[in-house]
């Protein structure tokens, strides 16, 4: 954070911050190429790559056929050549056709070739719900990636981290699944869907350095410091946690994982050993979700410090519905109840 104050900053949305990261990396490294559906001339359905093709040319930034396995498969081949592809899957809900290329190939290339070949790819995927996206524009598939040895899974929650983490991901030599909560593209969202959205320009983390900087992978952020309770979360749920703690009147340590896996275990353990209480939050469905791994890790490492059962507030074990969006989304009310149970009932 010390570095942040030295750099010239300006307000950016998460979209602008991500675009700035790609712009800077395209400028710095000739081996970086960006492609995916609609990312070229049009600049992406979420505008994340707007202007990049005009600036760097269509051999650096280009449109791809609608073929997720083709996009990732071609990127792996480019990585083997020596390029550093940054590819986009339009929605995380549509990564499934590329599963074989991501799980069987990108994740294992270094291992199976004993380091002879690597896959220095970044696969960007807009994820998450809260936008009336229904079943195939709302999913949070992070647990499918965290289960795969060889992948890094990253999710920012604000423009500053989005840019710094994306630059780190692009520079990292391991394949990185870069999940972007599209609900946070234009402003933070705390789950109060009936209230107007505050833009990033009104949020401290929306002030983003214009030039190059990084946010390290494998490092969590202690987003809010409390002391009564540890909340482990990432993405949109960071803001839900914040408002829920306020509404429940609980002083909570809110840990924004940022790197979901591999993760920053030390920050988690230090907090839980201090508070003795832990709630895990994610939008994704509950059973075998990443929360289960977090609960297991905390249980394993903090058993003698725990004063209450570890709670999980997650999406229900159903496909993501359309009309029942707010009954599905783990909003402030459900989260606050869990916080109260964790702190007061045990």
Partner 1 sequence: MRQKPLAFYVPEPSGRPGHATDFSYLRLQPAGAAPKPPIDVPPYDTRDLAMGLIRVLDEHDEAVGPWAEDPPDDELLRKGLQAMIRTRIFDARVLIAQRQKKTSFYMQSLGEEAICIGQVLAMRDGDMHFPSYRQQGLLIARDYPLVEMLCQIFSNDKDPLKGRQLPVLYSVPEMGFFTLSGNLATQFPQAVGWAMASAIKGDTRIAAAWIGDGATAESDYQTALTFAHVYRAPVILNIINNQWAISTFQGVAGGEGITLAARGIGTGLASLRVDGNDFLAVYAASKWAADRARNNHGATLIEWVSYRAGPHSTSDDPSKYRPADDWARFPLGDPITRLKQHMIRRGIWSEQEHQATQKACEAEVVAAQKAAESHGTLASGRTSSVATMFEDVYKDMPAHLRRQRQQLGV
Would you name the residues annotated as active-site residues? 137
Piece in contact with partner 1 (CB under 8 A), picked from 82-90, 130-138, 250-258, 324-332: 82-90
Per-residue contact flags (x/-) with partner 1 for residues 6 to 45, judged by CB under 8 A: ---------------------------x------------
261 contact partners, CB below 8 Å, separation of at least 6: 145, 146, 151, 152, 153, 290, 293
Cα gap 305→276, rounded to integer Å: 5
Interaction with partner 1 in 253-312: which residues (CB under 8 A)? 262, 265
Residue 324 binds partner 1 (CB under 8 A)? no
Q: Which of 15, 52, 74, 237 binds partner 1 (CB under 8 A)?
A: 74
Q: How far is the CB of 152 from partner 1 (least distance, A)?
A: 8
Query: In the numeric block, which tokens belong to residue 207?
Result: 């002030």
Interaction with partner 1 in 92-131: which residues (CB under 8 A)? 97, 100-101, 104-105, 108-118
Piece in contact with partner 1 (CB under 8 A), picked from 67-75, 184-192, 312-320, 332-340: 67-75
Cα gap 147→258, rounded to integer Å: 17
Residue 211 binds partner 1 (CB under 8 A)? no
Residue 157 binds partner 1 (CB under 8 A)? no
Q: Which is nearer to partner 1, 217 or 244 (CB)?
A: 217
Residue 152 binds partner 1 (CB under 8 A)? yes
Q: Residue holding tokens 């809010």?
A: 224
Query: In the numeric block, which tokens belong to residue 93?
Result: 């809900």
**Where does residue 202 rank: exposed (0-12), middle (13-18), buried (19+ CB within 10 A)?**
exposed
Q: Which is nearer to partner 1, 51 or 77 (CB)?
A: 77
Cα gap 210→208, rounded to integer Å: 6
Q: Are 254 and 235 in contact (CB under 8 A)?
A: no
Piece in contact with partner 1 (CB under 8 A), picked from 75-83, 156-164, 231-239, 241-249: 75-83
Q: Which is nearer to partner 1, 51 or 262 (CB)?
A: 262
Q: Which of 23, 38, 171, 218 binds partner 1 (CB under 8 A)?
A: 218
Residue 149 binds partner 1 (CB under 8 A)? yes
Q: How far is the CB of 76 from partner 1 (least distance, A)?
A: 5
Residue 327 binds partner 1 (CB under 8 A)? no
Q: Which is nearer to partner 1, 16 or 168 (CB)?
A: 168
Piece in contact with partner 1 (CB under 8 A), picked from 18-26, 62-70, 183-191, 269-277: 62-70
Binding site for partner 1 (CB under 8 A): 33, 59-60, 65, 67, 69-70, 73-78, 80-83, 85, 97, 100-101, 104-105, 108-118, 149-150, 152, 172-174, 218, 262, 265
């Amino acid at each position: 954070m010390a570095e942040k104050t030295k750099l010239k900053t300006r307000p950016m949305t998460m979209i602008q911050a991500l675009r700035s990261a790609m712009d800077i990396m395209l400028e710095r490294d000739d081996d970086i190429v960006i492609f995916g559906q609609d990312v070229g001339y049009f600049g992406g359905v979420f505008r994340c790559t707007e202007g990049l093709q005009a600036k760097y040319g269509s051999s650096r930034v280009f449109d791809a056929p609608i073929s997720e396995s083709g996009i990732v498969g071609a990127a792996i081949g480019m990585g083997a050549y020596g390029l550093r592809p940054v590819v986009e899957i339009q929605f995380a809900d549509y990564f499934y056709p590329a599963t074989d290329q991501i799980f069987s190939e990108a994740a294992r290339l270094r291992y199976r070739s004993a380091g002879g070949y690597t896959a220095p790819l970044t696969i960007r995927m807009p994820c998450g719900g809260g936008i009336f996206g229904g079943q195939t524009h709302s999913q949070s598939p992070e647990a499918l990636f965290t289960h795969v040895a060889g992948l890094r899974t990253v999710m920012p929650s604000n423009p500053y981290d989005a840019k710094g983490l994306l630059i780190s991901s692009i520079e990292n030599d391991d394949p990185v699944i870069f999940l972007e909560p599209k609900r946070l593209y234009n402003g933070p969202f705390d789950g109060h869907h009936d209230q107007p959205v505050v833009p990033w320009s009104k949020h401290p983390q929306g002030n983003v350095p214009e030039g190059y900087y990084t946010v390290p992978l494998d490092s969590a952020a202690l987003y809010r410091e409390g002391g009564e309770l540890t909340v482990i979360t990432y993405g949109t749920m960071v803001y839900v946690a914040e408002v829920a703690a306020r509404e429940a009147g609980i002083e909570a340590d809110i840990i924004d994982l940022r790197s979901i896996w591999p993760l920053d275990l030390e920050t988690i353990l230090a907090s839980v050993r201090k508070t003795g209480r832990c709630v895990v939050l994610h939008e994704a469905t509950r059973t075998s979700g990443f929360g289960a791994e977090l609960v297991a890790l905390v249980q394993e490492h903090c058993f003698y410090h725990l004063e209450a059962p570890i709670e999980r507030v997650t999406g229900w074990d159903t496909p993501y519905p359309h009309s029942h969006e707010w009954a599905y989304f783990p909003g402030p009310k459900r989260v606050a109840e869990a916080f109260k149970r964790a702190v007061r009932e045990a």
